[in-house]
Structure 1
């Protein structure tokens, strides 16, 4: 299980590395994430709750060097940019180091789990299939057969598919989501892709699980999605007893490396063959022997779903997104039929976008643009807006039919530019042009007295592309290629706004031209006039005027518009 906290034993090296590092070194957050990653994949031992042992910075640097050696990176012992980027790549869930970390070898790169199958004929069955992939069950089963055959021709093992649930299979294959009753819960699109269990006598031995929230593909021409055949070959290596390898051409490298070509032509690298034959012995072959394969290669599905337009992939660095939303800590950027995802670490899940209709299951095919989106705070439901309607999703599954924006207090036929939920009063804001409405989620009704002028959010751009609240509590207005930051709890833009969104949000270079100068603030109203920019979060009774005046300094941070 992945630990939730670093624990005392890592506190001292973490602080030392963060304090002593120059400005070019990683932040304390990067060091924290790096230590968590090193422990998760076997480079550092898990914290022992029975002792408060302190780990020296030297031990941490040694672990980083071993990880860098394994990944083929320069052994700096520091969490440099290349090391952090490698840690953020999609990969297998299983640890890289099966024993003491220092035993990663330079000559023999493959690793053995120490367990093998004691029989030469192994059975397998696909127990569940991907729910949102274009790959139908027949294609999935054929790809699994090809992936197993890759190992069979090099080891002499025979793999037989069993179709009946009443027949016990040695290798059970499942597509699952999140926690699925083993020690390796999945984490959604990107991140960990799959895992398999080593041979043995345990009921789960040999079983292979794929994250059903990935976009599984085969033969994709534009690189979209994750190639199921390549990942299956890797995971079946684990199911036969191989650990991860540090060899450059090995399919057992822990990080996803993209498609490996046609299954009928693919053959294991020498490192993979050597590791397999250490476990199961060599198979005598003449130079003209060809691996035995099924005669029929799986048909390649269309790259585009049938309800999607044949549109070119947009350039994320051009900005002007249709919608931007923080959903469970990740920032989603929508543009046409595509979207990008930014992880809490600040790393894009992929520089290439994913298709909206492949991810949001049940979204009607006629919806071409998502104009706004947000995650509801009370129940975690996700709302997607397009035209005068919105749709409610639980996780990625649609719940019910389209609903009119009139339910949220907007006039009939009105659309929205931006929607966001502000955590400081629990209210949902719906923006159109230069005005906004407010909805009370707790009471399930629109607040009276709206719409109001957007200028109450001092410095905000009119008709923003969207608005979202970051993980640290700051509120961000986006428009074009720039963003305006409102510090936590404030309705006035930060002095450094606006800024280019590319470097911070999209891994894009800063534009040659600077952001336009924000509009000057409105003049201070003269005595006797009222320019009421904010209101207190309304209660059933208002305090007396004198008491309110005495409390104003204390309430300055909790004003709501």
Structure 2
């Protein structure tokens, strides 16, 4: 049964500390709310369902434009604090005529990461980037520790005894067939497996290392999903989203979002990878509508955690096998040398 998260509470002020769960969301003009779940408090955005229904079939570009119509400077300030670009909430007490100047450095940092003109003001290009569907995990834990170009990995990882990672569905989307979403998710898992040597297999929801579920957060074009680092192993997607299971997603229905690419992103978090600063990477915080394959930056991140498929994997015994093979080759060379000396 699909979960329906009800009775949200007003959220507390959001600090720049990195949260453990990851939510992909659009920040609209509605107030940010907190929903109590089994895993703790989840920040979502309150939306008018009638408005969402009327915009569900818009293209992504049109939907972004729709959100931008009501995305103001105050929401931009919340965005910058929420995602780590500003480590102070002093802006909350400032009038609008002083607010933009207070946030100048934060705007420049955000603009640099998004590779747009570093004007230091809340211009249309900056607003557009802030209205793109994205992940709720902060881009910067502290402004001073930011890196301009590189993946980031978390401190947690799966151990050798955890593999193959079993994947089980506890809930299913009502917008796709069950087999379609299972097939799309396992293909997303296979994308990570091909470059790392990790292994996954489909299993029952109970007892699986990674469980997939669907819940109603705020309807279409709001929260897309969330995931937790190892070894929580939980991924939850928005049930009301207009998901498209086709791979690649080009040619999908108007207003659809590629479940496959979002699944790759969320699974990356479940494997221990944080956000990338590389614009076209699957692990970039913004929704990647035209990227349906892992990019070099994603591959470097997963192999930094688990090793590469070609050189043996740290969890599946590949590294030990390589050592055994090298030892075997050394023994063969030594035996051959001894035989030559005898002859």
Query: In which range does the TM-score fall when normalised by the shorter chain?
Result: 0.5 to 0.7
Q: 1:82 to 1:3 in 2, by over 3 A?
A: farther
What is the distance in 1 between the residues matched to 2:226 and 2:132? 15
C-alpha distance in 1 between matches for 2:171 and 2:116: 38
User: Which runs of 5 or more residues in structure 1 are unaligned?
Assistant: 8-25, 179-186, 287-561
Q: Which of 255, 268, 283 is 2:309 aligned to?
A: 283
For the pair shown, which has the larger CA radius of gyration, 1 or 2? 1
The runs of 5 or more residues in structure 2 that have no matched partner are 1-8, 16-67, 313-343
Q: What is the distance in 1 between the residues matched to 2:277 and 2:14? A: 27
What is the match of residue 178 of structure 2? Answer: 137
Q: What are the superposed Cα offsets for residues 48-82 of structure 1, whole Å, 9 maximum, x if unpaired?
A: 9xxx99x9976622222222222222222221101
Q: Work out whether residues 89 and 191 of structure 1, in 8 Å CA contact, stay in contact via their aligned partners in 2.
A: no
Determine the structure 1 residue equivalent to 2:209: 170
* 1:478-521 residue CA offsets vs partner (Å, 9 max, x unmatched): xxxxxxxxxxxxxxxxxxxxxxxxxxxxxxxxxxxxxxxxxxxx
CA distance in 1, matches of 2:261, 2:70: 35
Alignment partner of 1:147: what SS?
helix
User: Which of 34, 39, 49 is the matching residue for 2:81?
Assistant: 39
Describe how 1:331-350 pairs up with structure 2 within 5 A: none
Determine if contact 2:224/2:238 at 8 Å carries over to the other structure.
yes
Kindly indicate which of the two structures has a greater share of residues assigned to helix. 2
Aligned partners of 1:223 and 1:62: how far apart in 2? 40
**What does residue 188 of structure 2 align with?**
147
State whether residues 154 and 273 of structure 2, in contact with CA within 8 Å, keep that contact through their aligned partners in structure 1: yes
Within 5 A, what are the aligned runs for 1:437-456?
none
Q: Displacement, 1:161?
A: 1.6
Distance 1:143 1:283, change over 3 A: same
Distance (Å, rounded) in 2 between the aligned partners of 1:104 and 1:74:
19
Q: Residue 222 of structure 2: SS of its match in structure 1?
A: coil
User: Structure 2: how far apart are the matches of 1:43 and 1:229?
Assistant: 29
The answer for the alignment partner of 1:116 in structure 2 is 157
Shift in CA distance, 195/72, structure 1 to aligned 2, threshold 3 Å: farther
Task: Verify the 8 A CA contact 2:280 2:288 in the aligned structure 1.
Answer: no
2-structure distance, mates of 1:46, 1:127: 40
Is 2:117 aligned against 1:91?
A: no
Q: Does 1:247 align with 2:289?
A: no
Q: Distance in 2 between matches of 1:4 and 1:279?
A: 34
How many equivalent residue pairs? 242
User: In the alignment, which residue of structure 1 is the partner of 2:297?
Assistant: 271
CA distances 1:527-555 after superposition (whole Å, capped 9, x unpaired): xxxxxxxxxxxxxxxxxxxxxxxxxxxxx
* Aligned 8 A contact 2:73 2:100 in 1: no
Gap change, CA 1:193 and 1:6, over 3 Å in 2: closer
2:242 is the alignment partner of 1:215 = yes
The higher-RCO structure (CA 8 Å, 6+ apart) is: 2
Contact 2:135 2:285 in 1 (8 A): yes
What is the root-mean-square deviation in Å for CA atoms of aligned residues? 3.3
Using the size of structure 2 for normalisation, the TM-score is 0.62
Q: Larger % of strand: which? A: 1
Q: 1:192 to 1:75 in 2, by over 3 A?
A: farther
Q: Is the 8 A contact 1:124 1:159 kept in 2?
A: yes
Q: Is residue 206 from structure 1 mapped to residue 233 from structure 2 by the alignment? A: yes
CA 1:222–1:208 in 2, change beyond 3 Å: closer, same or farther? closer
Task: Give 3-state SS (helix, strand or coil) of 2:157's partner.
Answer: coil
Work out which of the residue numbers 122, 125, 132 in structure 2 matches 1:79. 122
Give the TM-score taking structure 1 as reference length: 0.39
Are residues 29 and 125 of structure 1, via their aligned partners in 2, closer, same or farther at CA, if it must alter by over 3 Å?
Answer: closer
Pair 198,6 (structure 1): closer, same or farther in 2 beyond 3 Å: closer
Question: Matches of 1:56 and 1:84 in 2, distance apart?
Answer: 15
Offset from partner CA, 1:460-490 (integer Å, 9 cap, x none): xxxxxxxxxxxxxxxxxxxxxxxxxxxxxxx
Q: Give the 3-state SS of the residue equivalent to 1:208 in structure 2.
A: strand
Which residue of the partner structure matches residue 126 of structure 1?
Answer: 169
Partners of 2:99 and 2:123 lie apart in 1 by 19
